[in-house]
Structure 1
Amino acid sequence: MCTGKCSRCIGGTLYPLVFISIICNIVLFFPGWDVKYAKDGHITDEVKYMGGIFGGGILVLFSAIYINLTGEQGCCGSRFGMLVSIVFAAVGAAGALYSLIAALYGLSNGPLCKYGETWTTPFKHSNWSYLTDSKSWSDCTEPVNVVQFNIGLFGTLMATSCLQVLLCAIQILNGLFGCLCGTCINQEKP
């Protein structure tokens, strides 16, 4: 496969992953599908880091746009364009890593919930054991099903971020080959 076509494929694949990251992070602001927890400030701290919006969202989106343009014929579809795509892919990988780390912390610390009469993160020092102990999830009385809510969304953010890091790493290699060997866009037959 030509390095230009590979860039278009990677850029196009990153777009839905960006959308998923942003949506997951936005939804995490509304545990129990209720606005009142956001208004009252009862949101898990890792949600406020906005890894899915800034890291896996905006930074990866800028990278995806440029990587996609690198596969097109014109100013970006050149050896220099491929060199610059390495920088954009590295920025995208850094953003995706930020999103991954925020999601990992979100899963390891567990959700902020009403535990007894106080708002706390009861699973913070559980060493991930709460993930397999579904009986302990009922200790969080409010918001309803917040543990499942956080596990599902932070897990999705983790998977999405891993794919974004992988695709950006592939683009770094693709950009290196495109920089050294050319994009082969001009060599394609109509």
Structure 2
Amino acid sequence: MLFPVLLAIQGTVGAVYCVVISSLGLLSGPLCDTGSGNYTYPFRNYSLDNSYLLNQPTWATCQEPEHIVLWNVVLFSIQLGIGVVEAVLCLSQVVSGLCDIFCGTCVRKGQG
């Protein structure tokens, strides 16, 4: 009975890791060429108040590869959403398994 709970805990940890990495990917922005021939993170020093995510005209800063900012935003947003859903489902599985371990035996004893 403990093995499924351990697997659900491992799934929850993986989901939280996915959420953290996706959030950091969204915050720092893509690695791109700004026209100087050097690949940098041009949006890394932006604050949350002045985020490139809400200021679409600044996306033109990245010239190569084409549409890299849109790709970055879509990819990490999808991963963030899936990670949150996975974390909620795995956490509910952990709670359900722990309730079954601790309360299930009491209910079964009372029925017998």
* TM-score, scaled relative to structure 2: 0.85
Q: CA deviation at 1:87?
A: 1.1
- Who is 1:110 aligned against? 29
Counterpart amino acid of 1:113?
C
Report the count of equivalent residues: 101
Q: CA deviation at 1:151?
A: 0.3
Identity of aligned pairs, percent? Answer: 32
**2:70 is the counterpart of 1:148:** yes
- Who is 1:98 aligned against? 17
Q: Find the partner of 2:79 among 139, 154, 157.
A: 157
- Who is 2:61 aligned against? 139
* TM-score, scaled relative to structure 1: 0.51
Kindly name which structure, 1 or 2, has the bigger radius of gyration based on alpha carbons. Answer: 2
Secondary structure at 2:43's aligned position in 1? coil
Q: Find the partner of 2:89 among 150, 161, 167.
A: 167
Matches within 5 A, 1:1-150: 81=1, 83-117=2-36, 118-128=38-48, 129-150=51-72
Any stretches of 5+ residues in structure 1 without a counterpart? 1-80, 183-190
Higher RCO (C-alpha under 8 Å, 6+ residues apart): 2
Any stretches of 5+ residues in structure 2 without a counterpart? 106-112
Moved over 2 A (4+): none
Secondary structure at 1:131's aligned position in 2? coil
Q: CA deviation at 1:116?
A: 2.1
Distance 2:23 2:88 in 1: 17
Distance 1:155 1:179 in 2: 36
Q: CA deviation at 1:168?
A: 0.7
